[in-house]
Amino acid sequence: MLLWAPFVLVHLGGQDSITAFSRQDNELYWRHLLNLATEVAVAGYVVGRASWPDARLRAAVALVFLAGCVKYAERIWVLFLASPGNLKSWSRFVLSKKLEWRQRQPSREEAVKMTRDSLNILMSKGGSSSGRQLFLDAMPLIPDVISADAPLNQTRNITVAAKNDLPGMLKKFLPSDSDSRLNAYEHVGALLGFCYRRLYTKDLLRERHIIYNDHCLGLIFFAVLDLIFTWVPIPVALALFMAAEKGLHTSSRSAAADIWVSYLLLVGAIALDGASAARFIFFPLSHQLAGMGWIKRQISRDVTRRPITKDHTSIKKFILDTLLVSGTMKKWNIASSRGQVALKKEVEVHSSGDSTTRRTLKEAVEKTVRSGFDFPTSVLIWHIATEICYYSHSDQVEEHNLLREQKMKEDKQVSRELSQYVMYLVFKCGVMLTTNSEVVHDKAEEEIVGVLSSFRRDDLGDKDAVMKLYEAGISKDDEIQMIEHHEEPEEKQDSDHEESPDIDRDAYNHMKKLQQSFEALKSPVLPRACAVAQELISIENEADRWDLIAAVWAEMLYYTAARCGGGFHYEHLSTGGEFATHVLVLMYLLGPFLPPAYQY
């Protein structure tokens, strides 16, 4: 039984493949340090007070004690390195180094070469196979993205974009008949897999061959240390325990059971070490998180009560292509927009059309995507409007183009999936929730329940339920007109204040936001969503309609991904990763798409 006391340290040290289950666990390294001191003292006291019938048994206990101390100390060290406080210090250090690097800026040719090489690795199949290159690409992600509430653009991307060299580099990855660019998601998955292993496992201590790739002596030194203090002690302890005299002078069942339990502990420890070693050797980084758990776990169902589809190829392709196209057109502010860029493009395309259509789109739809509008409320309104448009079929067929029809179907499905995913991020994960967002969400749910309460649930299909909501929302035009009537004098009052130089701007803006918040609370959501849906349906060409809706949802996803906060991405790495994290890393790698710090 004396062998069991040191095994507590081995148990607390844990497997190499996991040191923490969540971000909060990494903050408890001080508690683990106290546990280490306590357990070492207790185990040392128990072992020191014991009488040993065989020196080999004492040596076995000493080896288990050594292995337990080393394992637990390694875990505490890894917890400290991955703790949010240490990561923030690391981020500040990296930022200071970037500022120094900025002062001695490389030549344009050097920046272009680095960016071109990085893009080729990102887009090429098997580009993440080099362990050292993967290490070099992944390490900046932790201080720049994972641990930063305001993610930073890569300095070289800013430099190359300013010289107008980056659009041409991105354009070559846009052939319409090639899906090879989707390999970017594999590379991003591998990078996030490295981040996961850096934050939640001991692999940073085991992957010294990557760090010391060019230093043979350093590699040999650390390999010998790992061998002596990590892998050898427990097997040697088992051999010594088998050969040692156990001190059994009676054939009591309890003594025999103690021996078998000791064997079980030793063999179990060896098996766990072997499993960790096998995972480290046989499972490459490219398979870590490549499947991305994103929305498939616990997404709340929408008003149609249908879960999201499982095939995400089309949505991944759409998000990546939208980024590439935006880069080729030098629209680097796509993550600062919430649909304004897509709406502006739609208005420009139809600028020669009916002025009434242009005015309707500009005055109604634009209200929900402008920067001053509450973002979660905007997401909720567009989510309901997207569902209404999804079940509103257009009987007009303007052209028989199979490719355009196929694209329209893809945009339709992508729009719905993005709608559900952004809703999941905002209202399920609590990303970017404002003071009144949850109240508005609950109020919208009450409105929907109130409309559908007069119908039996089994009597209405998904389409019928959504269309009943649409009809009820349209019938409340008087309420919408009342809301608009309230907004007009406010706008006039705003212009009067702008002409008055003596007004305290900060106090006025604060009161204005409070008034807008109050009006948002008392204003029904369903009529506003139906008004947006009605104006979208007024776009006669269904392909153009879904192209606009998909583009708006893509911008909302970019906007959300850049503002989720480092804690969100850090935490969700432990549960399989979020698609928003993959999108954020894509924006980080492809160009200066991330907003400046003052826009967060």
Instruction: Provide the CA 186 distance to its chain's centre, in angstroms.
Output: 15
Provide the pLDDT confidence category of residue 562 given band limits of 50, 70 and 90: very high
Tell me the pLDDT of the chain averaged across its residues: 79
Position with higher pLDDT, 119 vs 133: 119
Q: Please say if the pLDDT value at position 347 is more than 80.
A: no
Span 268-285, average pLDDT: 74
Q: Please say if the pLDDT value at position 15 is more than 50.
A: yes
Contact 101, 159 (CB under 8 A): no
249, 262, 362 from 246: Cα distances, Å: 9, 11, 86
Residue type at position 339:
G
Q: What pLDDT shows up at residue 208?
A: 61
Span 148-172, average pLDDT: 88
- In this prediction the pTM is 0.83
Q: Please say if the pLDDT value at position 361 is more than 80.
A: no
Provide the pLDDT confidence category of residue 303 given band limits of 50, 70 and 90: very low
pLDDT digits (tens, 9 = 90+) for 388-430: 999 987 545 455 678 788 888 999 999 999 999 999 999 999 9
| Nearest CA among 143, 273, 124 for reference residue 190 | 124
Burial 246-279 (b: 16+ CB within 10 A, else e): eeeeeeeeeeeebeeebeebbeebeebbeebeee
Q: What share of the chain is helix, strand, coil (3-state, %, to 5)?
A: 70, 0, 30
Q: Considering only the C-alpha atoms of the chain, give the largest distance between any 2 of them, rounded to a whole number of Å.
A: 102
Q: What is the DSSP string of 315-346?
A: HHHHHHHHHHHHHHTT-TTTTT-SSHHHHHHH
CB atoms within 10 A of CB 19: 26
DSSP 502: T
Spatial neighbors of 492 by CB under 8 A, at least 6 apart, are none
Q: Please say if the pLDDT value at position 587 is more than 90.
A: yes
Provide the pLDDT confidence category of residue 594 given band limits of 50, 70 and 90: very high
Span 165-169, average pLDDT: 92
Q: Look at residue 562 and give its three-state secondary structure.
A: coil
| Nearest CA among 242, 361, 345 for reference residue 555 | 345
Q: What percent of the chain has pLDDT over 90?
A: 24
Position with higher pLDDT, 557 vs 97: 557
Q: What pLDDT shows up at residue 442?
A: 87
CB atoms within 10 A of CB 401: 11
Spatial neighbors of 216 by CB under 8 A, at least 6 apart, are none
CA gyration radius for the chain? 30
Q: What pLDDT shows up at residue 101?
A: 66
Provide the pLDDT confidence category of residue 490 given band limits of 50, 70 and 90: very low
Contact 65, 9 (CB under 8 A): yes
Q: Please say if the pLDDT value at position 300 is more than 60.
A: no
Q: Look at residue 405 and give its three-state secondary structure.
A: helix
Tracing tokens 């890393």 back to the chain, one arrives at 585
pLDDT digits (tens, 9 = 90+) for 537-547: 988 888 999 99
Q: Which of 7-16, 117-126, 363-372, 510-519 has the highest mean pLDDT?
A: 7-16
HSE-up of 87 (CA within 13 Å, CB side)? 25
Q: What pLDDT shows up at residue 412?
A: 93
Beta strands in 394-547 (DSSP E): none
* Phi, psi values for residue 244, rounded to 5°: -80, 155
> d(Cα 171, Cα 426) in Å, to the nearest integer?
33
Q: Please say if the pLDDT value at position 351 is more than 70.
A: no
- The C-alpha angle 142, 145, 150, rounded to 5 degrees, equals 135
For residue 469 the two structure tokens come to 């909501």
Instruction: Provide the CA 54 distance to its chain's centre, in angstroms.
Output: 56
List the single range of 440-454, 475-489, 537-551 with lowest mean pLDDT.
475-489
Spatial neighbors of 427 by CB under 8 A, at least 6 apart, are 300, 376, 379, 380, 433, 437, 438, 441
Provide the pLDDT confidence category of residue 524 given band limits of 50, 70 and 90: confident
Residues in the chain: 600
Domain residue ranges of the chain, discontinuous segments joined by +: 4-83+215-284, 84-211
Q: Look at residue 216 and give its three-state secondary structure.
A: helix
Q: What is the DSSP string of 131-145?
A: HHHHHHHHTTHIIII
Q: What pLDDT shows up at residue 357?
A: 46
Spatial neighbors of 39 by CB under 8 A, at least 6 apart, are 8, 9, 12, 72
Residue type at position 235:
P
Provide the pLDDT confidence category of residue 450 given band limits of 50, 70 and 90: confident
| Nearest CA among 187, 231, 179 for reference residue 205 | 231
Provide the pLDDT confidence category of residue 219 given band limits of 50, 70 and 90: low
Span 41-46, average pLDDT: 86
For residue 514 the two structure tokens come to 């409070």
- The C-alpha angle 550, 552, 558, rounded to 5 degrees, equals 105
Q: What pLDDT shows up at residue 501?
A: 45
Q: What pLDDT shows up at residue 294?
A: 41
List the single range of 368-382, 497-511, 584-598 with lowest mean pLDDT.
497-511
| Nearest CA among 297, 593, 534 for reference residue 421 | 297
Contact 351, 450 (CB under 8 A): no
48, 266, 268 from 259: Cα distances, Å: 20, 11, 14
List the single range of 168-182, 304-318, 460-474 with lowest mean pLDDT.
304-318
| Nearest CA among 386, 388, 546 for reference residue 465 | 388
